[in-house]
Structure 1
Amino acid sequence: MPEIVELGERPYVALRGTVPMDGIAAFADRLREVIDWLAAREIAPNDAPFFKYDVVDMDRGLTMEIGFPVDDVHSGEGEIVTGVLPAGRYVTATHHGHPDGLLGATRDLLAWGDEQGVAWDADGDIWAARLEVYRSDPREVPDMDDWVTDLQFKLKG
Structure 2
Amino acid sequence: MPSIVDRPAQRYVAERATVGIDEFARIADRLPPLIGTLAGSGIAPAGAPFFRYRVLHPGMRFTVEAGVRVEGGFTPEEPAFAGELPAGKYVLDTYVGAPDGLVAATAAVLAWGAVEGVAWDVTEGPDGEEWGGRLEVLRTNPLEVADPNQWVTDLLFRLAD
- Displacement over 4 Å in runs of 4+: none
Runs of 5+ unmatched residues, structure 2: none
| Distance in 2 of aligned mates of 1:44 and 1:37 | 10
- The structure 1 residue matched to 2:148, chosen from 144, 150, 156, is 144
- Identity across the alignment (%): 47
Residue 47 of structure 1: how far off its partner (Å): 0.8
Q: 1:26 to 1:36 in 2, by over 3 A?
A: same
**Residue identity opposite 1:20 in structure 2:** G
Contact 2:74 2:82 in 1 (8 A): yes
**Does 1:94 pair with 2:98?**
no
Report the TM-score when normalising by structure 1: 0.95
The answer for the alignment partner of 1:131 in structure 2 is: 135
Whichever residue aligns with residue 141 of structure 1, its letter is V
**Following TM superposition, by how much is the alpha carbon of 1:58 offset from its aligned partner in structure 2, in angstroms?**
3.7
Give the drift of 1:17: 1.1
Partner SS, residue 33 of structure 1? helix
Contact 1:46/1:69 (CA < 8 Å) preserved in 2? yes
Partner Cα distance (1:2, 1:95) in 2: 10
1:156 aligns to 2:160 (yes or no): yes
1:13 is matched with which residue? 13
Q: CA-to-partner distance for each residue in 1:131-156, whole Å, 9 max, x for gaps?
A: 00010111221111100100000001
- Judged with a 3 Å threshold, the aligned counterparts in structure 2 of structure 1 residues 116 and 73 are, in CA distance, closer, same or farther, namely farther
Unmatched runs of 5 consecutive residues or more in structure 1:
none
Conserved? CA contact 1:120–1:154, under 8 Å: yes
Deviation of 1:60 after TM superposition, in Å, equals: 6.9
Corresponding position of 2:83:
83
Equivalent pairs counted in the alignment come to: 157
CA distance in 1, matches of 2:52, 2:43: 20
Change (3 A) 1:60 1:142: closer
Q: Distance in 2 between matches of 1:72 and 1:78?
A: 18
Matched AA of 2:52: K
Match of 1:111 in 2: 111
